[in-house]
Chains A and B, each alone.
Chain A
Amino acid sequence: GAVVSQHPSWVICKSGTSVKIECRSLDFQATTMFWYRQFPKQSLMLMATSNEGSKATYEQGVEKDKFLINHASLTLSTLTVTSAHPEDSSFYICSARDDVSGELFFGEGSRLTVL
């Protein structure tokens, strides 16, 4: 089946630094990708919808300047957590929607720990 790859799968950084997480659709094109945040033993919270070639659409309560999203190509979206703080520590998951089938595929997730 279609594969969505996230990199890095885990990252530890110091407070105040920025971290970039990549989401790639490996064998299909995805005009639309989504970024989620998952807290331990909780559900996925949609953070933003990433659209290739245009600005991302953020969900209410998600800081645009804090979580920068860039969708530069049909196979790549990046999430940059700027000036990370310990409360940003979480599991970030992306999903990509196949432009042909419309099916949604999820990445493996990226675990961010901010010290």
Chain B
Amino acid sequence: AQSVSQHNHHVILSEAASLELGCNYSYGGTVNLFWYVQYPGQHLQLLLKYFSGDPLVKGIKGFEAEFIKSKFSFNLRKPSVQWSDTAEYFCAVTITGNQFYFGTGTSLTVIP
């Protein structure tokens, strides 16, 4: 079975700090990669996705992610976080386009 690993379970940052959340997956073939965000009390929302092409993907709210095939990684980054970025972040992988496999999630707390 495929697996998605997010090594950072809980990250605490001050506003304006830079963010990088790790995501690794365990499949050697072609994958589609996603980052979702879940704000407190809200449903999952898509931040960004990678299907093919430029491995550096830009998403909403200043987030970006880089697909490094050789490392099976798709890390999420943001140069300067804001208090409003406090949320749960999930990395997800799909191979067939059907089943989405999610990582365990990273809880981000941004301190004003």
Question: Which residues of A are interface residues toward B (Cβ below 8 A)?
Answer: 32, 34, 36, 41-46, 49, 59-60, 93, 95, 102-104, 106-109
Contacts and interface: CB of A to CB of B under 8 A. Distances in A.
Interface in B80-100: 90, 97-100
Q: Which label, helix, strand, loop or mixed, suits the secondary structure of the B interface?
A: loop
7 contacts: A32-B98, A41-B105, A41-B107, A43-B105, A44-B102, A106-B36, A109-B43
Given A43-B104, A44-B90, A49 B98 contact: yes
Residue among A36, A44, A60, A108 facing the most chain B CB atoms (10 A cut-off):
A44
Contacts, number: 42
Given A34-B99, A44-B90, A106 B44 contact: yes
Contact size class for B?
10 to 19
A60 B101 CA distance: 13
Given A106-B43, A107-B43, A42 B100 contact: no
Given A44-B90, A49-B98, A108 B104 contact: no
Nearest to A106: B44
Contacts of A103: 46
Contact of B43 (A34, A45, A93): A93
A49 B96 CA distance: 12
Interface of B: 1, 36, 42-46, 90, 97-105, 107
Nearest to A108: B43
B43 A46 contact: no
Contact of A93 (B44, B45, B101, B104): B44
Contact of B105 (A42, A46, A102, A107): A42
A43 B44 contact: no
